């Protein structure tokens, strides 16, 4: 098992680093080169930079992920590509993508995009909260213990 993180806008990287530090679990951050950082990461963490092109990070993550790996992403489309591989896919708000919720999430995303293209407005995501952090930590710990 490895942990792969869609790292460009992931607010739980520190939680992932701390939780995996002494568990002999490798973590791979996949990020666009446009988000390059000199920030040091722990020794068990590798950073892979990809071209700045649209979906380049997603394609790299799909190529890296295998059955029973854990991927952390907020991208519903990426999650839908990973589920058929048997990959465990987690959202940073503390829920797991699965066959029961992915269609609804993709439908909602499509409807919202259509409304915006028509000149309408839709609500954005709620701000990331301490409750979200706790929910993610609990779910993440459960998944790496299994």
Which pLDDT belongs to residue 109?
Answer: 63
Instruction: Please report which helix (H) or strand (E) contains residue 45, including its range.
Output: strand 45-50
Instruction: Please report which helix (H) or strand (E) contains residue 8, including its range.
Output: none
User: Cβ contacts of residue 82 below 8 Å, gap of 6+?
Assistant: 61, 62, 65, 71, 89, 97
Which pLDDT belongs to residue 54?
Answer: 83
Angle of the 130-145 helix axis to the 13-20 helix axis, nearest 10: 30
Q: Look up residue 66 and give its two tokens.
A: 């295998």
Helix, coil or strand: residue 69: coil
- What residues make up the domain containing 122? 2-145
Count of the separate structural domains present in the chain: 1
Which pLDDT belongs to residue 53?
Answer: 83
CATH number of the structural domain spanning residue 81: 3.40.50
Tens digits of pLDDT across the chain (146 residues): 999 999 988 999 999 999 999 998 999 999 999 888 888 999 999 999 999 888 899 999 999 999 989 999 999 999 999 999 999 999 999 999 998 888 777 777 666 677 777 888 777 778 889 999 999 999 999 999 87
Which pLDDT belongs to residue 93?
Answer: 95
Instruction: Please report which helix (H) or strand (E) contains residue 85, including its range.
Output: none
Alpha helices in 6-125, H assignment, sequence order: 13-20, 56-64, 76-82, 102-117
Instruction: Evaluate whether 75 touches 91 at the Cβ level (below 8 Å).
Output: no
């Amino acid at each position: 098992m490895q942990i792969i993180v869609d790292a460009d806008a992931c607010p739980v990287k520190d939680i992932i680093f701390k939780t995996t530090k002494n568990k002999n679990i490798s973590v791979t951050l996949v990020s666009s080169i446009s988000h390059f950082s000199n920030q040091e990461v722990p020794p068990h963490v590798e950073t892979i930079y990809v071209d700045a092109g649209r979906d380049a990070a997603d394609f790299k993550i799909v190529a890296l992920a295998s059955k029973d790996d854990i991927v952390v992403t907020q991208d519903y489309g990426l999650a839908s590509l990973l589920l058929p591989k048997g990959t465990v896919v987690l959202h940073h708000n503390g829920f797991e993508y699965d066959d029961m919720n992915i269609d609804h999430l993709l439908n909602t995303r499509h409807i919202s995009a259509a409304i915006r293209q028509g000149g309408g407005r839709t609500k954005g995501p709620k701000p990331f909260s301490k409750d979200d952090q706790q929910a993610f930590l609990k779910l993440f710990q459960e998944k790496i213990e299994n």
